[in-house]
A and B are shown apart, each in its own frame.
Chain A
């Protein structure tokens, strides 16, 4: 049955299908929410403080509330919601950085906005972001779990404990995964590629 793409009920249905293992649902889901979220993300990055965790919160809030406003939405599976939100955040922030890079900002000088205090060497508003994105794609082929952990922790701003709960892992495992992923990413994004400093 053809559906009106603006019906947010679709989001719910797609989230359900994705939960049940339909990977195609994920890309539909992304398509449905992408443009809104992108606009919101751009707004945050353009206007807001350097506290990135906060921006993610605001952004995900909007998505979450949009979902929760739908009638039959049971967020029984928070894990899927957060995993989805984290992926969306990554995609949006990377796209935004790419755009910001091509469109020169008025005033010329740019200020570094660290993506997350733990990986302060990645500038959320600069070229680092798409380098990071492709590095993550590369890492994903061999260390998929670590990439999910990175998304939840650094893109969405979950704490280690929450990341552990959402991933169904021990907290120590999350910490180890982060250390490994950070090291791997730092090596991959050689210092010359890192902006600033």
Chain B
């Protein structure tokens, strides 16, 4: 046999011969008597020709399935999807002239999981009624056991083709895109995620109406988002979010990302992450390493021509606000994207109207939003945090608050809706068929139509609408309503209502993580209320003082004194007015107590926490709100060297969470981890370790990484396993908590980061990895030292630990 290199060489030479050259003749000459070479290359050339023939023949069109599919029969193939084939179909009984799209599940996707998903697509579509979403007419299973859906047939082109063929300029493209956003946002408000948004799934009809298709990969939020995603990846990598590529749990922001890619392509004609997706780019994106190219740099002359604009003009147009909007949608970190598709659409509308857009580079508000919006630790947590018990769980606390608030809220929403329904002019408005969000939108539309009415009534209605949106966590919509109500109330001089509106605006801003805006609104409300003197509604005064104190203590260290005074004022107001809910007073007392604890006034803090418990129990005994004071008490007991006392309070937390939200809830899991530390300290090592073992999977499933919830649980798990003598586990948990802290981009001097290092160091020392342990402790010490005065004792304590470990370590 001739050498392989020679065979290759001659093969390539022959195959690349120009047309018209007689290959056989040329080859015979080239091989010049080397029979083996000639035979081998000839045989390869012959195989190559056969292969080309095979490829040409293999594109046979598949036949139409027999059916029947209900009363429909397929006419021709429209296309293949990931898990189904779509045909144009018509009624077989000739009763109506109606063409529809028939979607048949692919034969190889047998199995209950796919059937379930296919059926759920039908169910979800059936629940969506939107002009930009394809309608579902029917569904069933054919005699050959093929599940099928009958859908509205959309005679249109895919979004990108439609825009390019008409050479639509940027503005026209954006107007279509906004409609697509509306449809997606509508699905989200019905708790449905699309998960496979791409131009091919968006058809545009001849009159320019976009229609969203293919909910085959959609999922109900929460219900099965977690279950289906890890293994079952039905995605189009080009439009998939990094978290989708990772197989992680996805939320609304994943659809925001996909829409971001669609938008980017509409604007530039290019893909933001390079030439085309491949395994390599996908991996980089999955790992969060890829950063999109700025749209202005991605544009080409051809793309400009397709957008009916000269290259330079287009480049300028794409480098300002539009670039910010696209890039904000394409952030690797889901938390930095637009929180909802509605927000994205709103920003584009702002751009189209020439108003400033919200997409902007990272600011304090972002960090604050990320870490503080959930009020994850009470102010005083600094001391609490370091202290013996090892911190905890403001999360439970926050959830306690929101769960309690939720109950009140849903009642209020119902009242509000009853209001709409009774005033609605449509007698057949069936509340069963509409979601709350839809009803709110209906109310908003109604308001817009009657905006000529009495400005006071309009303002009050907008406020109540805003509150309802806020309860639905639609902060952007709530803010929009308030921003229209506030000037009207100002003009009318209605100070009481204005203060109310400003407070709601402050809460919305707080929800959006815009703490400075929140403070401004609280201050304004407080100013107005002070002008009103005795006539000021005491609930508003209480709320303004309490929430301002709370927000200030997060925002600026220098304002602690002001926060203290505001807390005391708020408490005084609520003590004198029994109409203010006692659970709110309890929250306020507990917050203030945490501030005292942070300043080392443990005794006073403990008395106040007990008062908080007693106060709230008058209104809602055993409610989830108890988690906050109970937690604080557990920590205080732990700090005072009383693990048995700490354990008793923590046990109550577990009990409260188990009873109010169930034994398998994340809240119960968090409470169990809080319990585990004092339990370990009092010798219940196995039970404590078991509690962590049981709780961690629940927490890891519920809380995405990075989140503070996860961080806390991991760090505490490290503490418990260390106490239980499971040092390797303790090290692993500590490392994971460190990773979460790093992924969350905590500041370099964030004591929490220091805390993770400290506990890692402790675990390593226990494992006799002294050198590594000391290194970790030193990291912790540096962070504590830089974190300011409150951390000085902690820093000193770590210094002592380092010295101890050094002394024990043989040189």
Residues of A within 8 A of B533 (CB): none
Are A183 and B51 neighbours in the complex by a CB distance under 8 Å? yes
Of B44, B55, B234, B283, chain A has the most CB atoms within 10 Å of the CB of B283
Query: A51 and B82: CB pair below 8 A?
Result: yes
Among A13-21, A30-38, A127-135, A154-162, the stretch in contact with B: A154-162
The residue on B at minimum CB distance from A45 is: B108
A143 to B280, CA, bound (A): 25
Binds A, one of B110-118, B303-311, B477-485, B718-726: B110-118
Name A162's contact: one of B11, B45, B51, B278 (CB within 8 Å). Answer: B278
Please pick, from B11, B43, B50, B237, the residue contacting A54 in the complex, using a CB distance under 8 A: B237
Question: Which residue from chain B places its CB closest to the CB of A89 in the assembled complex?
Answer: B279
B108 touches A64 (CB 8 A): no
Chain A residues with CB under 8 Å of B282's CB are: 57, 61
Nearest-Cβ distance from residue A89 to partner chain B, whole angstroms:
10
- Say which residue of B232, B233, B278, B735 sits within 8 Å of A159 (CB atoms): B278
Q: Which of B54, B231, B234 has the most CB of A within 10 A?
A: B231
B36-86 interface (Cβ within 8 A of A): 43-48, 50-51, 54-55, 57-58, 82-83
B245 touches A186 (CB 8 A): no
Whether the pair A68, B109 counts as a contact (CB closer than 8 A) is no
B492 at the interface (CB under 8 A from A): no
Query: Contact between B11 and A183 (Cβ–Cβ < 8 Å)?
Result: yes
Residues of B within 8 A of A68 (CB): 287
Q: Could you tell me the distance between the alpha carbons of A121 and B52 in the complex, rounded to whole angstroms?
A: 11
Contact yes or no, A54 B8, CB < 8 A: no
Q: Which of A40, A142, A179 contacts B4 (CB 8 A)?
A: A142
- Neighbouring B residues of A183 by C-beta, 8 Å: 11, 44-45, 47-48, 51
Q: Is the CB of B11 within 8 A of A110?
A: no
In the complex, what residues of B have CB within 8 A of residue A57's CB? 237, 245, 279, 282-283
The reply to whether A107 and B286 contact each other, CB–CB distance below 8 Å, is no
Report the Cα distance A44→B109, complex, angstroms.
11
Could you tell me the distance in whole angstroms from the C-beta of B741 to the nearest C-beta in chain A? Answer: 14
Looking at chain A's contact residues, the main secondary structure is: helix
B448 at the interface (CB under 8 A from A): no
Q: A120-B55, A120-B58 are in contact. Are A143 and B279 (CB under 8 A)?
A: no
Interface residues of A in 39-80 (CB under 8 A from B): 40, 43-44, 46-51, 53-58, 60-62, 64-65, 68-69, 71, 78
> How long is the Cα–Cα vector from A152 to B234 in the complex, in angstroms?
22
Cβ distance B61 to chain A, nearest Cβ, rounded Å: 13
Tell me, yes or no, whether B368 is within 8 Å of chain A by CB.
no
Number of residues of chain B lying within 8 A (CB) of chain A: 47
Counting CB contacts under 8 A, is B803 at the interface? Answer: no
Indicate whether A64 sits within 8 Å of B287 (C-beta atoms), given known contacts A54-B237, A57-B279, A183-B11: yes
Residues of B near A54 (CB, < 8 A) are: 233, 235, 237
A105 to B735 alpha-carbon distance, docked (Å) = 44
A96 proximal to B (CB < 8 A) = no
A176 adjacent to chain B (CB < 8 Å): yes
A59 to chain B, nearest CB (A): 10
Q: How far apart are the CA atoms of A64 and B110 in the complex, in Å?
A: 30
Return A52 CB to nearest CB of chain B, in Å: 11
Select one of A105, A106, A161, A184 contacting B44, CB under 8 A.
A184
Within the assembled complex, what's the spacing in Å between the Cα atoms of A107 and B114? 15
Decide yes or no whether A26 CB sits under 8 A from chain B.
no
CB distance from A142 to the nearest CB of B (A): 4
Judged by a CB distance under 8 angstroms, whether A197 is at the interface is: yes
How many whole Å from A152's CB to the nearest CB in chain B? 9
Q: How far is the CA of A78 from the CA of B280 in the complex (A)?
A: 10
Question: What is the distance, in angstroms, from B751's C-beta to the closest C-beta of chain A?
Answer: 22
Query: Smallest CB-CB separation from B45: which chain A residue?
Result: A183
A residues sitting closer than 8 Å to B (CB atoms) are 40, 43-44, 46-51, 53-58, 60-62, 64-65, 68-69, 71, 78, 82, 105-107, 109-111, 113, 120-121, 142-143, 156-159, 161-162, 166, 176, 179-180, 182-184, 186-187, 191, 197
**Closest 6 A-B residue pairs measured CB to CB?**
A187-B47, A111-B108, A49-B82, A142-B4, A186-B51, A183-B48
**Other than the known A121-B51, A183-B11, what 14 A-B pairs have Cβ atoms closer than 8 Å?**
A44-B233, A47-B111, A54-B233, A54-B235, A60-B279, A68-B287, A82-B280, A111-B107, A120-B58, A121-B55, A180-B44, A183-B44, A187-B44, A191-B50
